[in-house]
Amino acid sequence: MAELTADDVHLALVGETVDLIWVDFRLTLAFSNRSMVSFETPFTVAGTDGVTVSVDPEDKDSLLPALHLHTQSVSAAQIDGSTLRIEFASGTTLRAHADDDYESWHYSGPGTPPVRATALGGGELFISLPVESDPGEAGSS
């Protein structure tokens, strides 16, 4: 079986809005289709004014740019290597890179079971895709 890459992951975010943001030791965005993206290490938010700021989930004073994403609609989303990029219709762009030591971001899709992707420490990408069952297997013994 071939190794999965970022190209195998469909981010079900385009056209969805950020419906909920919560903060604990990480910052999590929950989208209108039940997809979620969580950040455990610093990431950047580039505003429409061209200013890029770092948001650290553990530094509550830095969270304001991420909180402004509430109710915004996603216009593009992709994983490039182990970097997650989400663009919003407002022109704001969020980028999360892999961390050298820790898991930095997690994506969980809306399906059951969900598509999952995680940027592991050191830059590797963990991917979990639902296994499609063979209809001929149902009920066979």
**pTM for this predicted structure:** 0.89
pLDDT for 2 equals 65
55 C-beta neighbours (distance < 10 Å), count: 20
- pLDDT per residue as tens digits for the range 11-45: 999 999 999 999 999 999 999 999 999 999 999 99
13 secondary structure, DSSP code: T
66 sits in which H/E element:
helix 64-67
